[in-house]
Amino acid sequence: MTYHSPTDLNLALEIAAQPCGKIIAGGTDVYPSAKQGSSPAFFLDLTRLLGLTEITYQNGTLRIGAAATWTQIAQADLPAAFDALKQAAKEVGSVQIQNTGTIAGNICNASPAADGVPPLLALDAKVELTSAARGTRVLALSEFIQGVRKTALCDDELMTTILIPRPPTQACSAFEKLGNRRYLVISISMVAATITCDSDGRIVDARVAVGACSPVAQRLSHLERDLIGNTVQDIKITEKHFASLSPIDDVRGSGPYRLDVVAEQCVRAIKRATGHE
């Protein structure tokens, strides 16, 4: 088995096009996901690729390099609309994992309980995928993650950048997560909300995303529509807003319990995002 750690993207793409390899960007899930008795032909480590750890603004878009770590994201100087993403960054595993684990690794792992996905969905994030043969394409994050451990990434592609359009100036956000303990825990449920209010305190833009309550984290479009035009005091959240969710029963909690929790987390996240904690 060979270990590749290139610094040049073109070389990395050539290696990625070879069969039976394993792409890693932080590698914190390599051993938990390994299958006994089998191993990849090679590992391709992306963390040394030039430019893939940078967090920059270009033409009104925040570009987060695929190999940016959660610690980098948590410490980045970003507007209040990114607070939910930074809060989620501090909830990923332990400090050691945050120092090593990357945003692209979290996305490509495609776990229903991936902490980074709801905040990114609430920011209308897209992902940039690059292939040596076909060049670059961009997909909405909601289209990229297709199911449990399933993505739209082709065998010869690498995720190179996460793209986030500049949110409204007044937008703020918040993240709520429930687990059995503070760190090193798989989420029971989580909610990210990005909210923009006008000068009268009425909500003019709302994006609310839920994770760990369906095979793929998802936006609550019905709730978002009902929030528009209301103040925080007017918010009424009912069961109909969660009709698209399908939480499972497992050792961490039952489906009905998760739905109860998510309803409260939505209220808390929206209130925090609008300064009404």
pLDDT, tens only, 200-252? 999 999 999 999 999 999 999 999 999 999 999 999 999 999 999 999 999 99
pLDDT score for 16: 97
Burial of 136 (0-12, 13-18, 19+ CB in 10 A): exposed
Local structure of 212: helix, strand or coil: coil
Q: What rounded mean pLDDT belongs to the chain?
A: 95
Yes or no: say if 82 and 69 are a contact pair by the CB < 8 Å rule.
no
pLDDT score for 277: 73
Q: Kindly report the CATH number that applies to the domain delimited by 172-273.
A: 3.30.390.50
End-to-end CA, the chain: 52
Backbone dihedral angles phi then psi of residue 83, each to the nearest 5 degrees: -60, -40
Residue 135 makes CB contacts below 8 A (sequence gap 6+) with none
Where do the domains of the chain lie? 172-273
> What amino acid occupies position 119?
P
This prediction's pTM: 0.96
- Tens digit of pLDDT for each residue in 125-170? 999 999 999 999 999 999 999 999 999 999 999 999 999 999 999 9
Of residues 179 and 54, the one with the higher pLDDT is: 54
pLDDT score for 30: 85
pLDDT score for 66: 97
pLDDT score for 142: 98
Give the residue-averaged pLDDT of 40-53.
95
**Separation of alpha carbons 271 and 52, rounded Å:** 35
pLDDT score for 180: 81
pLDDT score for 29: 85
Read off the pLDDT band of 269 (50, 70, 90): very high
**Separation of alpha carbons 209 and 92, rounded Å:** 17
Of residues 150 and 1, the one with the higher pLDDT is: 150
Q: Shortest CA distance to 269 belongs to which of 141, 175, 135, 203?
A: 175
- What percent of the chain is predicted at pLDDT more than 70? 100
- Tens digit of pLDDT for each residue in 90-122? 999 899 999 999 999 999 999 999 999 999 999
pLDDT score for 41: 94
